[in-house]
């Protein structure tokens, strides 16, 4: 068995999905290989950049090794200006390579002006014309060498983001053209979303032999004629990853304590639209497992990848802190109103929390069923600041419940509490396909393509996407206090690198 992670996604840590699959295969003593073509492919592009005449590109190529090393040794996280210069130089090398082929590649994205990952026809074309993919020379040589001494029955690809889809299908096309006997299995977050929202499993017949939606461990083991054990038995396995390659300060350990979302009540939530089931590992054993894996991998930072870390898990980590700093996404809970609780979180190793506030209008939060009181959020942000825990706040504009007054309330909230917010993600609302929250909403086409995950709608108050975007760009981002927060945002790496800046300040 060979497990492949295709380009492009943010290259800061190993993919948790493949690590979990590897752990299940290891538990059953099943021989397998892992190939992270994302991080390896990025290095290949960086080392094979075309010569360029402009000064910026020449400087970027000259400084490449130094810039990468300064990310890994943490030297850049004390100065955002130096950091941005280094990151933009690394990214420039990827851009000049890809532009020769009419493709845009960044450290976090892959875009082809002629092909869309939202159209099945374009994905099939990417598979047929795999030699046109900018990574072709790399992955064809890498996989040919691997398969020259290894003849697996199955090759699995984990496709989590739209930015990976076109490259993944190019890889599949190469494999099907040269190794017809090998069965191709695909899974991952993007595949799960497509299947849960109506994609037929025979859509890619001739290219894909098995499509896996949801947790892949049991499905994969069943294909290998192995009876799966209870999901809590399996632990992620990082032995086969090239840990030294990832662009982070030390090794970042991704770890999931659950799948789905324990709240799962928010209006227009993709988890609800897809009907994903919430499964939680036992909190009392999580901290013990984390400590063991941290010691084995020599991790400098833990990234808890849950949609929202359950309060019971937070309590377990407080009681049994892992031997590394950690961060992750949480919902604001009543315990966080207690400053002592936030201090205990800090003492457990918590360096940063990602928090979805979405809106500062209480009526919008109520109608969104967020279960969040904005006054509580203000108190919690203050407590986290005092405790020394960084905050990465998520805001969402353009939901069907919003008005111009709602936008202003959110803007005023950020201005008033700007000193309590370290980083911020600003997004425009997308309406999930098949959402159960569709009463009294008029829908219309959003993206062209049979694999679209979202659809457009007529906003009840006339706040269409263009209107909302203009407000964000022309008004919201122009506020001095808000601009200060935005200027701290790590380009491309965003929340994956944000904890290192918090660590550098402490």
Residue-wise pLDDT tens digits, 208-246: 999 998 888 888 999 999 998 877 778 999 999 999 999
The answer to the question of residue 421 being in a domain is yes
CATH of the domain at 493: 3.80.30.20
Whether residue 394 contacts residue 357, with contact meaning beta carbons closer than 8 Å, is answered with yes
Q: β-strands 110-112, 103-105: how paired? A: antiparallel
Whether residue 134 contacts residue 45, with contact meaning beta carbons closer than 8 Å, is answered with yes
Residue 447: predicted pLDDT: 58
Residue 506: predicted pLDDT: 78
Whether 118 and 173 map to the same domain: the answer is yes
Is the pLDDT assigned to residue 463 strictly greater than 70? yes
Whether 107 and 141 map to the same domain: the answer is yes
| Residue 115 DSSP label | B
The answer to the question of residue 358 being in a domain is yes
CB within 8 A of 264, min separation 6: which ones?
271, 272, 278
- As a whole number of angstroms, the distance between CA 332 and CA 416 comes to 19
Residue 408: predicted pLDDT: 97
Cα–Cα distance list, 171 to 94, 135, 148, 244, 395 (Å): 19, 9, 17, 24, 36
Is the pLDDT assigned to residue 446 strictly greater than 80? no
The answer to the question of residue 395 being in a domain is yes
CATH of the domain at 42: 3.40.50.2300
The domain boundary residue, chosen from 233, 256, 281? 233
Residue 492: band (very low, low, confident or very high) from pLDDT cuts 50, 70, 90: very high
Q: Interior CA angle at 476 toward 472 and 480, to 5°?
A: 145
Report how many domains make up the chain: 2
Whether 417 and 388 map to the same domain: the answer is yes
Inter-helix orientation angle 339-347/311-319, to 10°: 60
Residue 451: predicted pLDDT: 93
Around Cβ 472, how many Cβ atoms within 10 Å? Answer: 19
User: Each residue of 50-83: pLDDT tens digit?
Assistant: 777 789 999 999 999 999 999 999 999 999 999 9
Whether the link from the prior residue into 8 is cis, omega within 30° of 0, is yes
Whether 282 and 145 map to the same domain: the answer is no
Whether 187 and 292 map to the same domain: the answer is no
The answer to the question of residue 355 being in a domain is yes
Average pLDDT, integer, range 346-365: 97
Residue 275: predicted pLDDT: 79
The answer to the question of residue 89 being in a domain is no
Q: Is the dihedral of CA 50, 54, 55, 56 positive or negative?
A: negative
Q: How far is CA 389 from the centre of its chain?
A: 22
The domain boundary residue, chosen from 173, 198, 233? 233
Is the pLDDT assigned to residue 450 strictly greater than 70? yes
Residue 54: predicted pLDDT: 87
What phi, psi does 217 have (nearest 5°)?
-60, -55
Whether 133 and 18 map to the same domain: the answer is yes
The answer to the question of residue 56 being in a domain is no
Residue 229: predicted pLDDT: 83
Is the pLDDT assigned to residue 437 strictly greater than 90? no
Query: Where do we find the tokens 């203000």?
Result: 378
The answer to the question of residue 303 being in a domain is yes
Residue 169's nearest CA partner among 121, 215, 107, 137 is 121
Is the pLDDT assigned to residue 385 strictly greater than 70? yes
Residue 326's nearest CA partner among 385, 377, 389, 279 is 389
Average pLDDT, integer, range 409-418: 98
Burial of 244 by CB count in 10 Å (0-12 exposed, 13-18 middle, 19+ buried)? exposed
Whether residue 4 contacts residue 158, with contact meaning beta carbons closer than 8 Å, is answered with yes
| Residue 75 DSSP label | G
Whether 284 and 151 map to the same domain: the answer is no
The answer to the question of residue 142 being in a domain is yes
Whether residue 10 contacts residue 496, with contact meaning beta carbons closer than 8 Å, is answered with yes
Whether 389 and 316 map to the same domain: the answer is yes
Whether 225 and 318 map to the same domain: the answer is no
The domain boundary residue, chosen from 185, 210, 233? 233
- As a whole number of angstroms, the distance between CA 215 and CA 231 comes to 9
Whether 182 and 260 map to the same domain: the answer is no
- As a whole number of angstroms, the distance between CA 199 and CA 480 comes to 45
First CA to last CA distance, the chain: 44
Show the domain range for 169: 2-50+100-233
Whether 270 and 344 map to the same domain: the answer is yes
What is the percent of the chain with per-residue pLDDT over 90, rounded to a whole number?
A: 79
Whether residue 45 contacts residue 93, with contact meaning beta carbons closer than 8 Å, is answered with yes
**Strand, helix or coil at 309?**
coil
Whether 161 and 294 map to the same domain: the answer is no
Whether residue 84 contacts residue 137, with contact meaning beta carbons closer than 8 Å, is answered with no
- As a whole number of angstroms, the distance between CA 13 and CA 157 comes to 17
């Amino acid at each position: 068995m060979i497990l492949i992670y295709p380009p492009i996604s943010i290259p800061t840590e190993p993919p948790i999905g493949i690590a979990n699959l590897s752990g299940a295969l290891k538990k059953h003593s099943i021989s397998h290989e892992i190939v992270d073509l994302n991080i390896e492919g990025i290095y290949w592009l960086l080392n094979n950049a075309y010569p360029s005449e402009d000064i910026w590109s020449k400087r970027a190529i000259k400084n490449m090794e130094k810039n990468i090393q300064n990310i890994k040794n943490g030297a850049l996280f004390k100065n955002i200006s130096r950091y941005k210069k280094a990151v933009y130089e690394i990214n420039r090398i990827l851009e000049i390579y890809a532009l020769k082929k009419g493709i845009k590649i960044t450290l976090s994205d892959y875009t082809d002006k002629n092909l869309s990952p939202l159209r099945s026809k374009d994905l099939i074309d990417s598979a047929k014309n795999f030699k046109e993919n900018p990574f072709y020379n790399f992955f064809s040589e890498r996989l040919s060498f691997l398969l020259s001494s290894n003849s697996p029955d199955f090759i699995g690809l984990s496709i989590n983001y739209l930015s990976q889809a076109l490259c993944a299908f190019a890889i599949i096309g190469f494999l099907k053209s040269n190794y017809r006997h090998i069965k191709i299995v695909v899974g991952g977050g993007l595949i799960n979303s497509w299947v849960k929202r109506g994609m037929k499993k025979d859509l890619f017949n001739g290219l894909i032999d098995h499509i896996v939606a949801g947790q892949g461990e049991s499905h994969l083991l069943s294909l290998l004629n192995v009876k799966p054990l209870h999901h809590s038995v399996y632990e992620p396995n990082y032995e086969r990853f090239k840990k030294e390659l990832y662009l982070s300060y030390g090794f970042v350990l991704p770890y999931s304590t659950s799948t789905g979302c324990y709240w799962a009540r928010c209006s227009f939530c993709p988890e609800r639209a897809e009907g994903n089931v919430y499964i939680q590992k036992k909190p009392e054993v999580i901290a013990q497992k984390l400590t063991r894996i941290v010691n084995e991998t020599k991790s400098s930072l833990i990234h808890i990848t849950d949609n929202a870390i359950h309060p019971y898990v937070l309590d377990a980590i407080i009681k049994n802190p892992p031997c590394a700093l950690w961060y992750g996404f949480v919902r604001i809970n009543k315990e966080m109103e207690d400053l002592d609780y936030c201090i205990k979180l800090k003492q457990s190793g918590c360096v940063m929390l990602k928090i979805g506030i979405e809106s500062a209008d209480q009526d919008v939060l109520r109608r969104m069923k967020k279960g969040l009181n904005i006054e509580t959020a203000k108190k919690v942000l203050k407590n986290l600041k005092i405790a020394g825990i960084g905050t990465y706040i998520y805001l969402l504009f353009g939901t069907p419940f919003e008005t111009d007054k709602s936008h202003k309330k959110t803007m005023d909230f950020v201005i008033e509490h700007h000193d309590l917010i370290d980083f911020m993600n600003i997004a425009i609302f997308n309406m999930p396909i098949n959402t159960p929250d569709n009463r009294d909403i008029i829908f219309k086409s959003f993206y062209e393509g049979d694999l679209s995950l979202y659809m457009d709608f007529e906003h009840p108050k006339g706040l269409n996407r263009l209107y909302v975007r203009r407000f964000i760009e022309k008004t919201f981002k122009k506020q001095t206090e808000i601009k200060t927060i935005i200027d701290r945002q790590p380009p491309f790496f965003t929340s994956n690198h944000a904890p290192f800046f918090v660590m550098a300040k402490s």
